[in-house]
Chain A
Amino acid sequence: MDLRLTEEELAFRAEVRAFVRDNLPASIREKTVAGRRLSKDDYVRWTRILAAKGWAAPHWPPAWGGTGWSPIELSIFLDETQRGNAPELVAFGVSMVGPVIYTFGSEKQKERFLPRIVDLRDWWCQGFSEPGAGSDLASLRTTARRDADGWVISGQKTWTTMAQYADWIFVLARTNPQAKKQEGISFFLVDMKTPGITVKPIQTIDGGHEVNEVFLDDVRVPADAIVGEENKGWDYAKFLLANERNGIARVGVSKARLDRVRELASIPVYGSGPKIEDPFFRAKLAEVEVELKALEVTQMRVISNRRTAGKPDPASSVLKIKGSEIQQATTELLMEVVGPYALPYREPDAMSNEPPVGPDWAGPLAPTYFNTRKVSIYGGSNEIQRSIIAKAILGL
């Protein structure tokens, strides 16, 4: 047992850290640090910088643009890019549909889609959730029926993140209405320009626009739009959801946010001086740091476990629960830093000549707190994760 990084791992960490420092555009870094919204161009620009280095799809097989890094190196990469305030890779392509395509897709699908995911020429979005199918995803009602040329898809998807930017959507649709609910679902790849698709924005509690409703009205797709076998889509969806154990805890994001908490808490905001001088606040900060330190080790234990390497591990539910709770705690601390000046609301992307009320940096803090409540809801709510642990780990 040796919990220290090896010489090679330390050198690798230094390499990633230096790369982020030297190559992340300052304008993007400033937005991430401040908690302001990134544009589509920001994501594309950073992804292409990584792609040029060969790092834009690090966990993929090398034949398709991956790096061949060990799980620990992958984790170091994520931690360093997150703590260096780089944007996260847009997950829907590189982390979600990409692995489904290279694992279950046809050769033609692999050649057509994978290279365009790596450098974000294609922006993907996720057509899973529906108004009546949230945690109980398998009860989805979108249907796909065969016709002479392929399939006709009809239904409604919701919570579709960044669909407004998307070129493609991967869709779960029911292909056998008679089968048991998990067994009649198929997995489709659909061009967002296909007639019959309508995207409507949903405004979130922070006032922002990141999620959408996507309506599919008799959307005609070719026969080769289906991935793998008909009626096996649920298996692919489970694979997609379970395979994301590396990075689910977002340890680097929380570290970066705690850096920001300390930075902002050192600025005097109002009469009582800098927040960091308040012992009660410092104690709360220390509590979160303790949990995060433990989580960092827990993540390493999960990642380096040779017995479960490459397989879905119910321990990732532990990472999801604790990781999301810590992310939420960090945004709460960040909002508390600014005290009463969390109050004024500013349009997230508004261009205004009005001077801000309160410190310039205060604007995004309360919205970030409100917005981050989502992390214990999405990706399988924390209650779903607790049920997974109870069943898969405890055998209840």
Chain B
Amino acid sequence: MDFELSPEQEQLRDNVARLMRERYGFEARKGYQASPRGWSEALWRDYADMGLLGAPFAEADGGFGGGPVETMIVMEQFGKALALEPYLQTVVLCGALLKHGAGEKHRAELIGAIAAGESRLSFAHAEKQSGFDLHDVGCSVVKDGGGGFVLNGEKTLVGQGDSADKLIVSARLAGARRDRHGIGLFLIDADAPGVTRRGYPTQDGQRAAEIAFADVRAAPHDVIGAPDGALPVIERAVDETVAALAAEAVGAMSEALTMTVEYLKTRKQFGVTIGSFQALQHRASDMIVALEQARSMMYLAAMMAGEDDAAERAKAMSAVKAQIGRSAKFIGQQAVQMHGGIAMTYEYKVGHLFKRLTMIDAAYGDADVHVRRLAERGSLFA
């Protein structure tokens, strides 16, 4: 057992931390957020130059041979800075769909383009009725008789779906809407005929899109994996995304705590710094306890993201997501409370950390959803 990072991993962490410090101050972030895409293209190129976009992919696929630990390192730093670029969508989520679902040729082509910063992908999966059930897919696909496919349906809440140039779309080739079997993944150009996108801002300063597909054609080579058996790939990619979100949340939580402690040491009321009040000291200590528990789950997630046993992996990720959600809510709310009025302003960073933490809890099932799943699955210590 060993929690130490390798020298290369420490280097990666320091490099990303430096970039965020130099280029992702909270004022700079406001500028990126206000730009048309809602994030910085210049930084995306920097990420490519630094090797971040290819970090978690095998060298044979055009990546740099890293894995979940590298993703964890990058996402934690992004979490601290509240980075807006579509790393989670493109590199982590769509990257995992390609890694586990696509054939060799597809992987080489697409992963190489991702790593070079030339292509940004979003996963169009959730639908209005699906909630957090990954198998609930109503969007339909039929064979066109010539080896290709035709898609119809609507997808919702597609992360950074308005700025993506390619979409991976889940659609049902067979079975009823909530069957586990019959779901396929299709690579669709975001501007393909029949695709309509409506982009909008989200509470956490990012963007998402509602996307409709009307008789959208996919060529035979646009299928990722088996056209009717993609659910295990989707579940695996979402588990890896949950692990990455855990790291992003830990970064945001640690930043919220750092800012809170700094504030307690400088803000004066009644003639003393408010950090001298025991009620606030103990609350800050409880925040540390919550953060350390979350950090432990971030490590567990990085370890279990590579687990091949789907049931074991899902159980661990539910435990991770539940703990992250509980810690994120407590730390986010208390960071606002202990800052007082200033945290209620739009111009101050703590409120934005709180909002991102809130949305991370809600993504892919909040703490209650995952506790319920665990309750159905039996002991974590079996």
A: which residues have CB within 8 A of B? 1-6, 9, 72, 255, 258-259, 262, 279, 282-283, 285-287, 289-298, 300-301, 304-306, 315, 317-318, 321-322, 383, 385-387, 389-390, 393-396
Distance from B242 Cβ to chain A, minimum over Cβ atoms (Å): 14
Closest 5 CB pairs of A and B: A297-B296, A390-B281, A282-B375, A386-B285, A389-B285
Does the CB pair B323–A291 fall under 8 Å? yes
- Identify the closest chain B residue to A6 (Cβ): B1
Q: Can you list 29 contacts pairing A with B, beta carbon distance less than 8 Å?
A: A1-B299, A3-B303, A9-B1, A258-B379, A282-B376, A283-B375, A286-B372, A286-B375, A286-B380, A289-B319, A289-B381, A290-B323, A290-B371, A290-B380, A292-B381, A293-B300, A293-B323, A295-B296, A304-B2, A305-B3, A322-B289, A383-B282, A385-B285, A386-B281, A386-B286, A387-B278, A389-B288, A394-B281, A395-B261
Does the CB pair B282–A315 fall under 8 Å? no
- Tell me whether A72 and B1 are in contact in the complex, defined as CB-CB below 8 angstroms, given that A297-B297, A396-B275 are known contacts: yes
Distance from B358 Cβ to chain A, minimum over Cβ atoms (Å): 19
Does the CB pair A395–B265 fall under 8 Å? yes
Contact bitstring B283-297, A, C-beta under 8 A = 1, else 0 = 011101100111111
Complex CA distance for A295 and B293, rounded to whole angstroms: 6
Q: Which of B9, B284, B289, B295 contacts A1 (CB 8 A)?
A: B9
Distance from A191 Cβ to chain B, minimum over Cβ atoms (Å): 41
- Identify the closest chain A residue to B281 (Cβ): A390
Q: List A contacts of B281 (CB < 8 A).
A: 386-387, 390, 394, 396
B335 sits at the interface (CB 8 A): no
Complex CA distance for A4 and B6, rounded to whole angstroms: 16
User: In the complex, which residues 360-381 of chain B have their Cβ closer than 8 Å to any Cβ of chain A?
Assistant: 371-372, 374-376, 379-381
- Tell me whether A315 and B1 are in contact in the complex, defined as CB-CB below 8 angstroms, given that A283-B371, A386-B282 are known contacts: no
Does the CB pair A393–B303 fall under 8 Å? no
Q: List A contacts of B4 (CB < 8 A).
A: 1, 306
Q: List A contacts of B379 (CB < 8 A).
A: 258, 262, 289
Does the CB pair A4–B275 fall under 8 Å? no
Does the CB pair B293–A3 fall under 8 Å? no
Q: List A contacts of B275 (CB < 8 A).
A: 396
B223 sits at the interface (CB 8 A): no
Does the CB pair B375–A279 fall under 8 Å? yes
Q: List B contacts of A393 (CB < 8 A).
A: 285, 288
Q: List B contacts of A315 (CB < 8 A).
A: 292
Distance from B294 Cβ to chain A, minimum over Cβ atoms (Å): 7
Does the CB pair A396–B265 fall under 8 Å? yes
Complex CA distance for A298 and B299, rounded to whole angstroms: 10
B342 sits at the interface (CB 8 A): no
Does the CB pair A300–B375 fall under 8 Å? no
Does the CB pair B375–A1 fall under 8 Å? no
Q: Which of A255, A293, A301 contacts B319 (CB 8 A)?
A: A293
Q: List B contacts of A289 (CB < 8 A).
A: 319, 374, 379-381
Does the CB pair A294–B297 fall under 8 Å? yes
Q: List A contacts of B2 (CB < 8 A).
A: 1-3, 304
Does the CB pair B371–A301 fall under 8 Å? no
Distance from A373 Cβ to chain B, minimum over Cβ atoms (Å): 19
Q: List B contacts of A318 (CB < 8 A).
A: 288-289, 292
- Identify the closest chain B residue to A385 (Cβ): B285
Does the CB pair A291–B293 fall under 8 Å? yes
Q: List A contacts of B375 (CB < 8 A).
A: 279, 282-283, 285-286
Q: Which of A3, A283, A291, A321 has the most CB of B within 10 A?
A: A3
- Identify the closest chain B residue to A389 (Cβ): B285
Distance from B133 Cβ to chain A, minimum over Cβ atoms (Å): 18
Q: Which of A293, A295, A297, A390 contacts B282 (CB 8 A)?
A: A390
Q: List A contacts of B374 (CB < 8 A).
A: 286, 289-290
Complex CA distance for A1 and B299, rounded to whole angstroms: 9
- Identify the closest chain A residue to B316 (Cβ): A293
Q: List A contacts of B296 (CB < 8 A).
A: 294-298, 301
Complex CA distance for A395 and B284, rounded to whole angstroms: 11
B247 sits at the interface (CB 8 A): no
Complex CA distance for A4 and B307, rounded to whole angstroms: 12
Does the CB pair A283–B292 fall under 8 Å? no
Does the CB pair B3–A390 fall under 8 Å? no
Complex CA distance for A1 and B49, rounded to whole angstroms: 25
- Identify the closest chain A residue to B278 (Cβ): A387
Q: Which of A1, A9, A286, A386 contacts B69 (CB 8 A)?
A: A1
Q: Which of B69, B282, B294 contacts A387 (CB 8 A)?
A: B282
Q: List B contacts of A300 (CB < 8 A).
A: 1, 3
Q: List A contacts of B282 (CB < 8 A).
A: 383, 386-387, 390
- Identify the closest chain A residue to B258 (Cβ): A394
Distance from A376 Cβ to chain B, minimum over Cβ atoms (Å): 13
Complex CA distance for A1 and B380, rounded to whole angstroms: 23
B302 sits at the interface (CB 8 A): yes
B50 sits at the interface (CB 8 A): no
Distance from A301 Cβ to chain B, minimum over Cβ atoms (Å): 5
Distance from B291 Cβ to chain A, minimum over Cβ atoms (Å): 9
- Identify the closest chain A residue to B5 (Cβ): A1
Q: Which of A294, A301, A385, A390 contacts B284 (CB 8 A)?
A: A390
B93 sits at the interface (CB 8 A): no
- Identify the closest chain B residue to A280 (Cβ): B375
Q: List A contacts of B5 (CB < 8 A).
A: 1
Complex CA distance for A365 and B349, rounded to whole angstroms: 48
Complex CA distance for A301 and B297, rounded to whole angstroms: 11
Does the CB pair B299–A301 fall under 8 Å? yes
Complex CA distance for A279 and B381, rounded to whole angstroms: 19
Complex CA distance for A318 and B294, rounded to whole angstroms: 12
Q: List A contacts of B326 (CB < 8 A).
A: 290
Does the CB pair A258–B381 fall under 8 Å? yes
B264 sits at the interface (CB 8 A): yes
Does the CB pair B3–A394 fall under 8 Å? no
Distance from A69 Cβ to chain B, minimum over Cβ atoms (Å): 14
Complex CA distance for A1 and B282, rounded to whole angstroms: 32
